Amino acid sequence: MIFPLRDEIKTHGTPYVTYSIIALNGIAWCILQSFGNEPDLSESICKYGFVPGNLLETINPGEAIRLSENMVCRFWPDADFFRLITSMFMHGGWMHIIGNMWFLWVFGDNVEEAMGPLRFALFYILAGVIAAFFQAATDTSSVIPMVGASGAIGGVMGAYALLYPRHKIHTLVLFFVIRIPAVFVLGWWFMIQFLSGLPNLGANESVAFWAHIGGFLSGLIMATLLRRDKHWYF
């Protein structure tokens, strides 16, 4: 087990977009998901989660999945692209949201500084959407609602690996804190996602490993296009 604690790169401004994304996730967790309490947790996942089979219209009308003892979520195929966005701000539990926001806190500020706030905001949304489609491609008829910022944050991690591969990350390894180059920390994370996702291709898996993979790969690609030294109009 390895867990990144902090990096050593100092930012020269306030990462307003990163802080805003963390705040929006926190607000959604408090207001829409009632701090993970039922029935609001299951209702929010049913209402705002991304369901591949629902968007791609590959499931039977009225297809259902039980989300909790008292909650059955029933789907009617419609091209609801809005859920691609809303699902990025929903989470399934305390550890889910805390882990995601921690990784965004560690890596997001530096990627935002490298891109600028407007490009970073666009980057984050695109990474999350691409990640969702990447997961959907592995099981087009899935009825499991996908929630969480993991795909978008995977994109942030991919961008960080490309932009700052040699910078050291203070990483918890078992019971020790070790300074490890970012490319090894993030490369290890990507390898774990890939190895975990391979056995679950085409399966209704509860963890969206292929969204993590798709987000990371999209981050690698988009970071080369959206960094500040590229001449765009924003």
The Cα 122–Cα 138 span in angstroms is 25
> pLDDT at position 23, please?
98
Q: How many domains does the chain have?
A: 1
Average pLDDT, rounded, for the chain: 90
Nearest to 169 by CA among 105, 85, 99, 75: 105
CA 75 to chain centroid, in Å, comes to 23
Nearest to 86 by CA among 51, 135, 50: 50
Residue 18 lies in a domain: yes
Residue 204 lies in a domain: yes
Residue 231 lies in a domain: no
Residue 132 three-state SS: helix
**Token duo for residue 177:** 């804190």
Residue 59 lies in a domain: yes
pLDDT at 47 over 80: yes
Identify the residue with better confidence: 118 or 81: 118
Amino acid, res. 215: G
Q: What is the extent of the structural domain holding 159?
A: 2-226
pLDDT at 9 over 60: yes
Residue 106 lies in a domain: yes
DSSP letter (8 states) at residue 1: -
Beta 2-7 vs 63-68: how paired, if at all? Answer: unpaired
Residue 233 lies in a domain: no
pLDDT at 234 over 70: no
Split at pLDDT 50, 70, 90, the class of 233 is low
CATH code of residue 191 = 1.20.1540.10
The Cα 171–Cα 102 span in angstroms is 13
> pLDDT at position 228, please?
80
Residue 218 lies in a domain: yes
pTM here? Answer: 0.92
Segment 57-73, tens digit of pLDDT: 788 877 778 877 777 88
Contacts of 26 (CB under 8 A, 6+ apart): 97, 101
Split at pLDDT 50, 70, 90, the class of 205 is low
Preceding omega of 145 cis (within 30 degrees of 0): no
What integer is the mean pLDDT of 96-120? 97
What integer is the mean pLDDT of 28-43? 95
Residue 234 lies in a domain: no
